[in-house]
Homo-oligomer: A and B are copies of this chain.
Amino acid sequence: MNQDYIQPDPWSIIEEGFDKEQVKSSESLFSIGNGAMGQRANFEEHYSGDTFQGSYIAGVYYPDKTRVGWWKNGYPEYFAKVLNAPNWIGINVTVNGEPLDLNTCKEVTDFRRELNMREGWYRRSFKATLPNGVEVRINVTRFLSLDFDEAGIIRYEVTPINAQAEIKFEPYLDSGIKNHDTNWDDKFWNTTNVISDGGQAFIEAHTMKTHFDTCTFMESELYHNGEKLDVAPAATTSELFVGHEYIQKADKGETLALHKFGGYTVSRNHKADGLITAAKKVLKKVTDFGFDELLDRQKDAWAKIWEMSDITIDGDVKAQQGIRFNIFQLNQTYLGTDSRLNIGPKGFTGEKYGGSTYWDTEAYCIPFYMATKDQVVARKLLKYRYNHLGKAIENAEKLGFSNGAALYPMVTMNGEECHNEWEITFEEIHRNGAIAFAIYNYYRFTGDYSYIPEMGLEVLIGIARFWNQRATFSTQKNQYVILGVTGPNEYENNVNNNWYTNYIAKWCIDYTVEQLQKVKDGYPEDYGRIIGKTKLTDAETEQWQIVASNLYFPKSEKLGIFLQQDGFLDKELITVADLDKKQRPINQKWSWDRILRSPYIKQADVLQGFYFFEDHFTIEELEKHFDFYEPFTVHESSLSPCVHSIQAAKLDRMDQAYTFYLRTSRLDLDDYNKEVEEGLHITSMAGTWMSIVEGFGGMRVIDDKLSFTPRIPDQWKSYSFKINFRNRILKVTVDQEGSKFKLEGKEEMSIRVNGNRLVLNPGSETTA
């Protein structure tokens, strides 16, 4: 770990004491979001110290022109990125004419931040002595409403401590914002309208090129010792800015509070010419409720989320805090209300990765959303890819494939490829497999087959066509091979016959052929439509099967293991344990070529295949492969520890599983990778959830039934989680004695625990 200033607490993230060095880290860690918008924990009042501003609107992106040193044919022209949006949170504060700025105060004491995850709000409080000698107590509470997801609410309280003082609040909107992440310093936003209208203000601005129209809005109320004052603000407007001034005196000990209601209306959801009208409607609603009632509704909304998705851990507050932080952030990022949206690796907490979609969604996030939400949410995530199928086919065509072969992009916003690193963009093609696997996984878990005839089969056909064309025949091996790929372990590039890629390629074809038959038999109308649309012939599927059944898999007979790729055993096989610690992390200490020729593995690769397809292999085979590959794994991807935690648990190596668990669940809180100030690792947080539910809980779906093999780390007294399995809610509690299962609803359900059938009756807890 790299930091430990976050206070342990089961439900809150807490920082105590003001440290300028931690401002940017805390801006990430205390981020808030509601699925539609997100906000880093920037101060409302002016701060002249080092800060990383970030306000984001889901789905509002800009295609930034690709920047490369050396162009390769096939590179996309643009990288679509979610932009830093106009600032709606700003409230400049002056005390007797002196600006409040934490960077210049004489003294700051009692500084405390709390992100209350249970209730969904963020609070910052401190006492400050301004350069003019006035002492004030500040208390700011902020949240992004789950009920009204275009709005955020701030209550900014100022209490003079040592003297009467004149306080000026200047809530403002500012569209003079910049992206840190920009390839060419393009102008991203064009501001077209700045309006102050009584107590309300609006800035209309659109993104360049994509022309997303947005209206950033605000309205404020001033309170004196809890009493609302009827004051009209003075307004300042300029080209990119509108501010409102509220000036009021407060005696020692009296509290002035500004309630600011703000947010965005966007042309994704409204008519472009009706954004101000829509904003006024939102403001009407939220001001009618007022701060307190909105906060109550926020607590209720989060209570509902926690009701289903909470995981409790008893006896290990850091582990408890870690898992809740992960679950909280996932829910802040994506709530499944909009199938045009997806889950970016940094969510709304930073600019890195452009807020775009990676294979992380299918490989890591879908299990979490399937089990903790209604199945419609996971279906929306699948539909997102179905909607992008045309673009995936175009993407494959750009790379020379034809006949409806689909290659889903490595990184995307609207279905087009954004990424431009040949060894990834063109070669990390296993992502196509994860997208097919998610379809299988969705059906396996939810039992909802309808997605496959309605949408999924077309996706599968595009993917199977891709693999069929991508494999080539090796006369020498008399088998099909897949040359020039990058596997999940990105510390190998342009290798031949990455075992994971070959394995998932074969699986994709086999699974598609199986589904074709199933849809033909059970959904003849859909089948006819799909065959008509895709022009799929029997001859073509036969060719697929020839490829699938003659695909080559590298292995070592001597070691009895599959090889990560051709030639892996030619490396200098020095384990990570024998690697000088000063050389790590290798992605910071070594040049790229040195990493590539080393045996070190960034994240599960062969073991990712053993995770996806565990029922294809015996536990002995898993153990052999885990024992061979894990010692070479440096876990320098946030997606690495979770899969290893699950497999270590399965192998009953609970100490190792627990170590991996801590690393995944507190990756950001403890800043293992020394980069939390750039934002949080949102998608890997779903892997943390898997570590508990699938790792420690041993949850699987086998033959349409839930199955558990519960284990518990020595460090814990107990833990519990809930699963929504095919609209049945099951609570699982595991302690050092054993496990208990409690079913909601009315009908009984049978599950398997440690291989034994267990019939659960609703309402009562059953001990296994």
Find chain B residues with CB under 8 A from A66 CB: 69
Q: Is A68 an interface residue (CB 8 A)?
A: yes
> Does the CB pair A596–B69 fall under 8 Å?
no
Find chain B residues with CB under 8 A from A423 CB: 494
> Does the CB pair B481–A570 fall under 8 Å?
yes
Find chain B residues with CB under 8 A from A68 CB: 67-69
Contacting A593 at CB < 8 Å: which of B422, B496, B587, B590? B422
Q: Is A399 an interface residue (CB 8 A)?
A: yes
The interface bits of chain A over 465-477 (1 if a CB of B lies within 8 angstroms of the residue's CB, else 0) are 0000000111111
Find chain B residues with CB under 8 A from A422 CB: 592-593
Q: Is A293 an interface residue (CB 8 A)?
A: no
> Does the CB pair A594–B476 fall under 8 Å?
no
Contacting A69 at CB < 8 Å: which of B421, B476, B477? B421
A593 to B472, CA, bound (A): 13
> Does the CB pair B588–A73 fall under 8 Å?
yes
Contacting A590 at CB < 8 Å: which of B400, B477, B567? B400
Find chain B residues with CB under 8 A from A484 CB: 593, 596-597
Q: Is A572 an interface residue (CB 8 A)?
A: yes
> Does the CB pair A472–B591 fall under 8 Å?
no
Find chain B residues with CB under 8 A from A596 CB: 483-484, 494
Chain B minimum-CB-distance residue to A572: B472
Chain B minimum-CB-distance residue to A559: B476
CB-CB contacts below 8 Å: A672-697 with B: none
A484 to B474, CA, bound (A): 22
Q: Is A314 an interface residue (CB 8 A)?
A: no
Q: Is A398 an interface residue (CB 8 A)?
A: yes
Q: Is A566 an interface residue (CB 8 A)?
A: yes
A589 to B72, CA, bound (A): 11
Q: Is A426 an interface residue (CB 8 A)?
A: yes
What number of A residues sit within 8 Å (CB to CB) of B? Answer: 47
Q: Is A427 an interface residue (CB 8 A)?
A: yes
Find chain B residues with CB under 8 A from A591 CB: 72-74, 398-400, 426
Q: Is A571 an interface residue (CB 8 A)?
A: yes
How far apart are A468's CB and chain B's nearest CB, in angstroms?
14
Chain B minimum-CB-distance residue to A66: B69
How far apart are A354's CB and chain B's nearest CB, in angstroms?
12
Chain B minimum-CB-distance residue to A494: B494
Decide yes or no: A594 and B399 within 8 Å by CB, A472-B572, A569-B475, A571-B483 being known contacts: yes
A400 to B586, CA, bound (A): 11
Mostly, the A contact residues are loop
Find chain B residues with CB under 8 A from A477 CB: 570
Find chain B residues with CB under 8 A from A496 CB: 567, 570
Find chain B residues with CB under 8 A from A589 CB: 73
The interface bits of chain A over 406-437 (1 if a CB of B lies within 8 angstroms of the residue's CB, else 0) are 00000000000000111100110000000000
Q: Is A573 an interface residue (CB 8 A)?
A: yes
How far apart are A420's CB and chain B's nearest CB, in angstroms?
5
A313 to B495, CA, bound (A): 49
Decide yes or no: A426 and B592 within 8 Å by CB, A67-B67, A69-B68, A70-B421 being known contacts: yes
Q: Is A493 an interface residue (CB 8 A)?
A: yes
Contacting A569 at CB < 8 Å: which of B73, B476, B493? B476
The interface bits of chain A over 451-464 (1 if a CB of B lies within 8 angstroms of the residue's CB, else 0) are 00000000000000
How far apart are A550's CB and chain B's nearest CB, in angstroms?
14
A593 to B427, CA, bound (A): 7
> Does the CB pair A569–B426 fall under 8 Å?
no
A493 to B496, CA, bound (A): 12
Chain B minimum-CB-distance residue to A569: B476
> Does the CB pair A570–B73 fall under 8 Å?
no
A400 to B66, CA, bound (A): 31
Find chain B residues with CB under 8 A from A476 CB: 569-570
How far apart are A570's CB and chain B's nearest CB, in angstroms?
4
> Does the CB pair A590–B475 fall under 8 Å?
no
> Does the CB pair B572–A473 fall under 8 Å?
yes
> Does the CB pair B74–A592 fall under 8 Å?
yes
Find chain B residues with CB under 8 A from A592 CB: 72-74, 422, 426
Contacting A475 at CB < 8 Å: which of B474, B493, B566, B573? B573
Decide yes or no: A400 and B594 within 8 Å by CB, A69-B66, A493-B494, A569-B475 being known contacts: yes
Find chain B residues with CB under 8 A from A571 CB: 472, 474, 483
> Does the CB pair B593–A74 fall under 8 Å?
yes
Find chain B residues with CB under 8 A from A587 CB: 73
The interface bits of chain A over 598-618 (1 if a CB of B lies within 8 angstroms of the residue's CB, else 0) are 000000000000000000000
The interface bits of chain A over 553-596 (1 if a CB of B lies within 8 angstroms of the residue's CB, else 0) are 00000000000001101111100000000000001111111101
A483 to B596, CA, bound (A): 9
A440 to B325, CA, bound (A): 65
The interface bits of chain A over 493-521 (1 if a CB of B lies within 8 angstroms of the residue's CB, else 0) are 11110000000000000000000000000
A19 to B674, CA, bound (A): 60
How far apart are A411's CB and chain B's nearest CB, in angstroms?
11
> Does the CB pair A69–B420 fall under 8 Å?
yes
Decide yes or no: A570 and B474 within 8 Å by CB, A426-B591, A593-B427, A594-B399 being known contacts: yes
The interface bits of chain A over 302-331 (1 if a CB of B lies within 8 angstroms of the residue's CB, else 0) are 000000000000000000000000000000
Q: Give the one of A74, A472, A476 with max B CB within 10 A.
A: A476
Find chain B residues with CB under 8 A from A483 CB: 567, 570-571, 596-597
A722 to B181, CA, bound (A): 60
How far apart are A136's CB and chain B's nearest CB, in angstroms?
44
A400 to B591, CA, bound (A): 7
A398 to B590, CA, bound (A): 9
A68 to B589, CA, bound (A): 19
How far apart are A720's CB and chain B's nearest CB, in angstroms?
42
Decide yes or no: A472 and B597 within 8 Å by CB, A422-B592, A591-B400 being known contacts: yes
A426 to B473, CA, bound (A): 31
Chain B minimum-CB-distance residue to A421: B70
A593 to B417, CA, bound (A): 15
The interface bits of chain A over 47-75 (1 if a CB of B lies within 8 angstroms of the residue's CB, else 0) are 00000000000000000001111101110
A526 to B573, CA, bound (A): 41
> Does the CB pair B569–A566 fall under 8 Å?
no
How far apart are A342's CB and chain B's nearest CB, in angstroms?
22
Chain B minimum-CB-distance residue to A67: B69
A496 to B571, CA, bound (A): 10
A68 to B590, CA, bound (A): 18
Which residues of A are interface residues toward B (Cβ below 8 A)? 66-70, 72-74, 398-400, 420-423, 426-427, 472-477, 481, 483-484, 493-496, 566-567, 569-573, 587-594, 596-597
Having A73-B591, A472-B572, one finds 9 other A-B pairs with CB under 8 Å, namely A73-B590, A399-B594, A400-B590, A427-B593, A473-B572, A474-B571, A475-B573, A483-B567, A484-B597
Report the 4 A-B pairs with minimum CB-CB distance, sorted nearest first.
A74-B591, A426-B593, A484-B597, A72-B592
Question: Can you report 5 residue pairs joining A to B where beta carbons are below 8 Å apart?
Answer: A68-B68, A73-B592, A400-B591, A427-B593, A566-B567
